[in-house]
Amino acid sequence: MASTDQPAPESEKAAPPPETIAQPPPRRDCFAVVDVVLRMLLFAAAVAAVVVMVTSKETKAVARILIPPYAVYRTANFKNSPAMIYFVAALSVAGFYALITTMVSFLALLKPRCSTKLLPHFVIFDVLMLGIVAAAAGTAGGVAYIGMKGDSHAGWTKVCNVFEKFCHHVEASVAVSIFASIVLALLVINSAHSLSKRIPK
C-alpha cells in the first residue's frame, strides 16, 4: 500500500510567515530635504541683506566754508530713499516668511503626509514672495546704479565717489537680495515639481 505522506512542494516550504517579511524602510523625500535647505538659505540671505543695508550709514564733509572755517556735512542713509526703505521692509518680510516656512517645512519632512497638503500653499506664497523680493532688488538696484554712474541727461550727479562705504553696502545688499530671488525661484520650481510627482496618473 502506497504511503499518502507526500513531501510538501518547495514553494510551500520556502514561504515565511507574513509577520517575518522584512518591511522596506520608508523612502526619504529628496524634494522635502531640498525645500528645507533652500528656505534656510533664503532666511540667511534676507537677514544679511537687511543688516548690510541698515548699517550703510555714512557721514562725509561735502563742502568747506572758509569764513568761518566750518565744514558742511551730509549723511547718506537708506532712510533717505523710499526705494531703499521698501527694500528693507520687503527683505524683512521675506526673512520672517522664510523663518516660518522653514519650521513648517521641517515638520512636514518628519510627517510626509502633511507635505502634500502644504505644497499648493507653498507654491502660491513662494511666487508672491518672489515678486516682492525681485521688485525690491530692482528698485534698490536702480537707485544704486544712479548713485554709482549718475545721469548726465537728467542732471543727476553720482555720489559714490563721496560716499564710498555707503555705496559698497548698498551694492552688497542688492547682490544678496538677487541671490534671495534666485533661491525663491528654485523653491517655486522644487515645490511645483514635487507637487507634479504626487498627482496620480
| pLDDT tens-digit map of 83-96 | 889 999 999 999 99
Q: Mean of the pLDDT values across residues 103-119?
A: 71
Tell whether the model's pLDDT for residue 138 goes beyond 70.
yes
Whole-number mean pLDDT of the chain? 78
pLDDT-derived band at 28, boundaries 50, 70, 90: low
pLDDT-derived band at 105, boundaries 50, 70, 90: confident
DSSP state of 20: G
Show me where the domains of the chain are located: 28-197
Tell whether the model's pLDDT for residue 61 goes beyond 70.
no
Q: Mean of the pLDDT values across residues 128-139?
A: 93
Contact 45, 162 (CB under 8 A): no
Tell me if residue 60 falls in helix, strand or coil: strand
Angle at 161 between CA 159 and CA 167, to 5 degrees: 65
Q: How far apart are CA 115 and CA 151, in angstroms?
A: 50
Residue 80's pLDDT is: 83
**How many alpha carbons lie under 13 Å from residue 151 in its C-beta half-sphere?**
10
